[in-house]
Amino acid sequence: MTNTTLSVAISAPSLTPATQITLASVTGLTTSMLILVDGEYFKPTAINTTSLIVDVIRGYNGTLATTHGAGSPASFGTPDEFKAGSISPIRFVRRTPTALLATAGALTYTAGQLISRFINRDCAGASRTDTLPTAVLLVAALPGVQVNDFFDFVVNNCSDAAETITIAIGTGGTILVNTPAGADTVTVAQNTRRRFGIRFTGVAPGSEAYTLTDESGAVTY
């Protein structure tokens, strides 16, 4: 296992999908290895030993492709080395809460906000119906996503009055109702967080689709 750092910041793929990263060192790196930066795995496909730029596949092994700053710790090694270095069965995931969204009206969440996996929302005076991104935008924000890939996210209603957030589906989305139907809801009451899940059912151009599920009961605080 070799430790190095990321020399140039890269953005979340919802903005400018990065297919290259620049490391402080690529000595010993081969395309049969994996690179790990802040919980995201990268699969190298080409390595420039002069510029230290590496062509990569992002979000490898089901990890979330996200923003990484210059100087972020990076490690590379064989898949077996990463397995051998695992000291905990817990798989860590990254949640980057949005800044407080306090628009006095309905919102359509961006793909970047949704894949931050924690949305802070103040209804600002009345109950609101907020809409999820379209399936096209979500697929575009997650390079390499495949059918049946899944991620969850939390909507946190921190309104200062009895105002409810209702989640509406973007184009290409479907609410998947479990059994019993009463166990599912797309509303989030004041001072409540609710966890939802997105599963992709179509990713090919022209057939992008996802389902939304209620993944937990309400958590009050």
**Whole domain around residue 154: which residue ranges?**
111-220
Looking at the structure, tell me whether residues 140 and 214 fall in a common domain: yes
User: Is position 18 within any domain?
Assistant: yes
Whichever domain contains 39, its CATH number is: 2.40.10
Please identify every stretch of the chain with a pLDDT value under 70, giving residue numbers as ranges: 13-18, 84-95, 177-185, 217-221
* Residues 6 or more apart in contact with residue 137 via CB below 8 angstroms: 110, 111, 170
pLDDT of 182: 44
Q: Does a structural domain hold residue 90? A: no
Q: How many domains does the chain have?
A: 2
pLDDT in tens, 111-169: 989 988 899 999 999 999 999 999 999 999 888 888 988 888 999 999 999 999 999 99
Q: For residue 47, is it within any domain?
A: yes
Q: Are residues 118 and 74 in the same domain?
A: no
pLDDT value of position 217:
58
Q: Does residue 206 sit in helix, strand or coil?
A: coil
Q: What is the pLDDT of residue 92?
A: 54
Report how far residue 175's alpha carbon sits from residue 168's, in angstroms, rounded to the nearest whole number: 9
Q: What is the pLDDT of residue 93?
A: 59
Is the peptide bond between 143 and the residue preceding it cis, with omega within 30 degrees of 0? Answer: no
